[in-house]
Structure 1
Amino acid sequence: MEKSGTSTRLTGAVQDLTSELVSALRSGGPFRLAHGVPGADDGIALAAVRVMGADAVLPSVLHDVPPGSDDLAVFSRAVHAYPPPAGASPASAWSHWAMERALRTLDGSADTPPDGVPGRGTEPRAAWLEDASWQSLTHQLAVLAPLAVPGADSAVARVARGRPVDVARGFVRAVRRRDWLQAAGAGRWLVLLDGVPETLGLETGLAFVAQMGGDDPRVALQVEAAQLMRIGVRV
């Protein structure tokens, strides 16, 4: 029962944080992570930041608004509190690496784990994506959508850049399957890729995904990020 209650609290905290992030992306105003995460020293609150990954500071990145020191402190605590365990999935390792990169980008003095520690500091491998089917590739890229930010290179981004048509196919498939979250995540990647077929109609597609899945703040977050990057709001 206690475990179920903790899971419910975490789900609610993640949803609340996601909604706050969506509002900040739409308004363009400053987003205070320390204020958007009630009880920032609470384990549930920090876990919610970890679930959001690098997207927890996305408004600062896309709107080029320096975060406050207290915001960086909250984000840093989440980064260091939840390192990927031994044997973690590639997605978990990449998600944590993206948080470390975001922290270093926003705070050059950040104390992040040194290179050479597997899964911490050193960029994880992406060989598991290189030969993935286009369906699996799209699914994984949607999970790793926080890596899709302007000017941020990574092995995952390089795989995506080499397969724009496959990602476009995956976007269409997700829309047809009414998997709005996957479609939104794929669309976020597509706005950064060259070679996307013009026949895809990405702008119209993103608007449709927003309309159909926008009640889910996770979908709204990815669509807002994609649309901001599409019109050139970048670091």
Structure 2
Amino acid sequence: MEQSGTSTLLQGAVQGLASSVVSALRGGDHARAAAPGPVDVEEGGLALAAVRVLGADALLPAVLLGTPPDPDELAVFRKSAESFPPRPDAAPTVLWSHWAMGRTLRVLDPPSAAAPTDGTEPGGEWLDGASWQVLTHQLAVLAPLALPGEDCAVSRLAQGRPVDVARGFVRAVRRRDWRQAAGAGRWLTLLHGVPETLGLASGLDFVELMGGHDPLVALQVTAARRLRTGAPV
């Protein structure tokens, strides 16, 4: 029962954090976007776990808007990355998520101490030859890597399979998997060779209409629109 209650609290903290990021991307107040509620970076706690779940997207407004992150946000973000290192047997998506957090720290806070990762990319072999269904699922999980100018093994693989990602987007919409559809849609805004018949803009509108009550869906759709236009959403 206690574990279930903790899980519910964490889900609420993640959704609250995602809502803060969405507000910032839409031009709202982004203060404390990386720290939902009071946080003692020495003690850790629920907010640190929420930041780790959201990963690099916790500081997405600073990355996309080019605004310096609040020092407190940066401290919480760093503490979260340091507090939840991946286990040796961690899944590839966990390794890449942790890598993305380290990369974000190196970009936003280069004068500071070394980031929690040394910058070495995890392997990308697990996606070699993946079916379009598996590829789309994995890319949606790693949506925080979908950034302008990002050059890593995952983004390069995605660039080579735009039609497969488009197929995955359509499948996710048909299955009403709005989180996967939103994550795939974010990737599609950056890929070359996406079929025009996909109607991505309309597709994102539909995903937002049907799943936008979920802050995690709203975050990816909002990020996709900003990536697509470079303008406020």
Contact 2:99/2:121, CA 8 A, preserved across alignment: yes
Identical pairs, percent? 65
Match in the other structure for 1:39? 38
Aligned pairs (5 A) from 1:44-59: 44-59=46-61
Question: In the alignment, which residue of structure 2 is the partner of 1:118?
Answer: none
Long gaps (5+) in structure 1: 116-120
Report the CA distance shift for 1:228/1:31 in structure 2 as closer, same or farther (over 3 A): farther
Corresponding letter in the other structure for 1:85: R
Contact 1:32 1:67 in 2 (8 A): no
* C-alpha deviation, 1:5, in angstroms: 2.0
Deviation at 1:31? Answer: 3.7
Query: What's the CA shift for 1:29?
Result: 4.7
Q: TM-score of the superposition, structure 2-length normalised? A: 0.93
Assess, with a 3 A threshold, how the Cα gap between structure 1 residues 152 and 29 changes in structure 2: closer, same or farther.
Answer: farther
TM-score under structure 1 length normalisation: 0.92
**1:71 Cα deviation from its structure 2 partner:** 1.5
Taking the aligned partners of 2:57 and 2:28, their CA distance within structure 1 comes to 15
Within a 5 Å distance, the mapping from 1:160-171 to structure 2 comes to 160-171=158-169
1:206 paired to 2:173: no
Q: Does structure 1 conserve the Cα–Cα contact (< 8 Å) formed by 2:179 and 2:216? A: yes
Root-mean-square deviation over aligned CA pairs: 1.5
Q: In the TM superposition, what is the alpha-carbon distance from 1:233 to its structure 2 partner?
A: 4.8
Equivalent pair of 2:24/2:33 in contact (CA under 8 Å): no
1:37 partner letter: P
- Counterpart of 2:219 in structure 1 is 221
Deviating more after overlay: 59-68 vs 45-54: 59-68
Structure 1 segment 1-235 matched on structure 2, within 5 A: 1-27=1-27, 29-33=29-33, 36-41=35-40, 42-110=44-112, 111-113=114-116, 115=118, 121-233=119-231
The list of structure 1 runs, each at least 4 consecutive aligned residues, that deviate by more than 3 angstroms after superposition, is: 28-31
How many residue pairs get matched? 228
1:160-206, CA deviations, whole angstroms, 9 ceiling, x for partnerless residues? 00000100010111111111111100000000000111111111111
Which deviates the most, 15-24 or 220-229?
A: 15-24
Could you tell me whether the CA contact under 8 Å between 1:141 and 1:185 is conserved in 2?
Answer: yes
- Provide the C-alpha distance between the structure 1 equivalents of 2:78 and 2:107, rounded to a whole number of angstroms: 12
Unaligned runs of 5+ in 2: none
